[in-house]
Amino acid sequence: MTTLPPQVATLTCPNCRTPFQTPVYQLVDVGQQPELKQALIAGRLNVAVCPNCGAGGLLATPLVYHDPEKQLFWVLMPQEVQAKPEEEERFIGAMQQIVMRGLPPDKPKGYLLNPRRFITLSSLLDALLEAEGIPKAAIEAQRKRAELLARLLQAADNEAQLKQLVEQQRDLLDYEFFVTLAAYIEAAKAENDQESLERFTHLRERLLELSGLGQAPAGEQEPNLEQAIDALLQADETRLEELIAEYRPLIDYDFYAALTERADAARAAGNTSEAERIEARRARILEITERMDREAQQLFERAATTLREVLQAQDLRAALQQRRDDLNEAFLLVVAANREAAQRANQPDMVARLDEIERLAVEVVQEALSPTDRLISQLLNAESPQEATRLLRQQAALVTTDFVKRLNELADESEKNGRKEIAERLRQLSREATSLLF
C-alpha cells in the first residue's frame, strides 16, 4: 500500500503554553484508507487538543482528498496558510506522485492532473457530502441547525433573550434539531466533557419547555375519496402506479361510480374532451389495479404454500433457511392471519408453532442482511422514534455517508411501491443519520 502516513507536528497551546504533539494528515486517500473519509466528515481529522487544559480545535493545514472510485482529486489550501503559488504547486505535485504510485496500472489517472481546489474545509466537506449522495438541502439544513444551536447556547444565560430567540426560530426547533442536540450531548459524554454535557443537557430541557415540543406530533389524517380521485386524475402517467398503490384501499365500487359521475357532469356541461380524459384515466386505473391485485394474489398464494411446507417440517429453522427468498412481508402477513384463525379456533399448540415460525423467519432474514440493512431493519421496527434514535447513536460506527445513501435509496423504492409511511420514516432516519455525521 502506497500512501502518506500522518506527520507529527509539535505545537504550543495558546491557552496554557503547554507544548504537545499531534498527528497531521496531508493526504486522505479513501482508496487506501477508507476510514479516513468518515473521520474527515465527522471533524475528527487534523484536530489539536491540549492534553493539559483541553483547548484546541481544527488545524488550518493543506490537505488532499482522493477517491479513485469517483475519480476525485481535491486540494484544500486554507487561506490561513498563505502559501505562495509555487509552494502550492510543489505540494500538489508531491501528492499526485504519491497517489499515482498507489493506483493499479490499468486505472484512469487523467483526473489527477486537474485537481479541484478549495480554500475552506467547509466548502470541501459540502462537495464531499454531495458526491456521497447526501442532498445539498440536507447539508444546508444541518448547517442552519448547528448555527442556531450556537446562538441558543450564547443566549442560554439570559432568559428573556432565550425566549425571544425560541419564538423567532420556532420553525427550526423540529425533531431533527433535537437529534442534532442529542448528538452533541452524546459526544460530550464520550469525551468526558462534563461542562459541555451540563450546558447541552440544560439547554435541551429549557428548549423543550419553551417550544412545547415535549409531546409527539399528532398523526396525519387519512385521505378521503375526493382527495384520492383528484390526485389520480391529476397525476402524471409516470406516478400513476405509485399513487394507485397509495390509495388502493379507497379504490372500490364507490370510487369508480364517482369517476363516472364526474365524466357525466363534464359531458353534460359540454366539455367532451374532459369527459373522455376522465374515462380514459378510469380505464387505465382499472387496468393497473387489476394487474396489481393479480400480482398480490399470486404473492399471497405463494406465501401460503411456503407456510404449509414449513408447518410440515420437523426442523423449522432449516425449512425457513431453504426458503429464505420467500420470507417476505406477504409471508409474515399470512402467518399472522393463520395465527389469528388458530386463536379463534382455540388451538394453542398451533398458535405457539406459528409464533415460533414468525420469530425464526425474522431471525433468518436478519442473518442474511448486511450490517447496514440489519440496522435499518432494527430502526424501522423500533417501538418509538426515540428508541430508533438511541439505536442509531449506539451504532454510530455504521452511520456513514453510504448508510445515509442506502436509507434514501430504500425511501425512493418504498415511495414508488406506494408505501408512503415507510418512505417518510426512512427519510426521517436519513435526516437523523445526516445530523450524526457532522
Q: Model confidence over 370-410: pLDDT tens digits? A: 778 778 887 887 777 777 777 777 777 777 888 888 888 88
- Residue 216: left (phi > 0), alpha (psi -120 to 50), or beta? beta
**Average pLDDT over every residue of 198-213:** 80
In the predicted structure, residue 133 carries a pLDDT above the cut 80: no
Judge if 110 and 64 occupy the same domain.
yes
Q: Shortest CA distance to 362 belongs to which of 381, 384, 386?
A: 381
- pLDDT at residue 363, as a whole number: 81
The answer to whether residue 194 is domain-embedded is yes
- pLDDT at residue 219, as a whole number: 45
Q: Shortest CA distance to 313 belongs to which of 321, 272, 24, 412?
A: 321
Q: Shortest CA distance to 407 belongs to which of 373, 366, 381, 365?
A: 373
Average pLDDT, the chain: 83
* C-alpha–C-alpha distance, residues 436 and 54, integer Å: 23
Judge if 51 and 152 occupy the same domain.
no
Q: Model confidence over 215-251: pLDDT tens digits? A: 444 444 556 888 889 999 998 888 888 888 878 888 8
Judge if 83 and 145 occupy the same domain.
no
Angle value at C-alpha 69, between 65 and 70, nearest 5 degrees: 65
| pTM for this predicted structure | 0.47
Q: Model confidence over 364-377: pLDDT tens digits? A: 887 777 778 778 88
Judge if 159 and 185 occupy the same domain.
yes
- pLDDT at residue 366, as a whole number: 75
Lowest mean pLDDT among 124-133, 158-167, 233-242: 124-133
Q: Model confidence over 319-330: pLDDT tens digits? A: 998 988 888 878
Q: How far is CA 182 from the centre of its chain?
A: 17
Q: State percent of the chain over pLDDT 90.
A: 20
pLDDT band at 428 (very low <50, low <70, confident <90, very high): confident
The answer to whether residue 150 is domain-embedded is yes
The answer to whether residue 93 is domain-embedded is yes
Q: Model confidence over 177-196: pLDDT tens digits? A: 776 777 667 666 655 667 77
Judge if 112 and 141 occupy the same domain.
no
Domain of residue 176 covers 137-211
Domain boundary among 190, 211, 232: 211
- pLDDT at residue 74, as a whole number: 94
pLDDT band at 212 (very low <50, low <70, confident <90, very high): low
Q: Model confidence over 268-297: pLDDT tens digits? A: 999 999 999 999 999 999 999 888 888 878
**Average pLDDT over every residue of 33-49:** 81
Domain boundary among 177, 211, 245: 211
Judge if 24 and 94 occupy the same domain.
yes
Domain boundary among 163, 181, 211: 211
pLDDT band at 62 (very low <50, low <70, confident <90, very high): very high
Instruction: List, as one string, the DSSP characters of 348-397.
Output: HHHHHHHHHHHHHHHHHHHHHS-HHHHHHHHHHT-SSHHHHHHHHHHTGG
Q: State percent of the chain over pLDDT 70.
A: 91
Judge if 95 and 48 occupy the same domain.
yes
The number of domains in the chain is 2
Q: Model confidence over 136-155: pLDDT tens digits? A: 676 677 777 777 887 888 88
The answer to whether residue 57 is domain-embedded is yes
The answer to whether residue 341 is domain-embedded is no
* C-alpha–C-alpha distance, residues 229 and 115, integer Å: 53
Judge if 190 and 123 occupy the same domain.
no
- pLDDT at residue 265, as a whole number: 92
Judge if 21 and 106 occupy the same domain.
yes
The answer to whether residue 202 is domain-embedded is yes
- pLDDT at residue 233, as a whole number: 92
The answer to whether residue 203 is domain-embedded is yes
The answer to whether residue 337 is domain-embedded is no
Maximum Cα–Cα distance for the chain, whole Å?
89
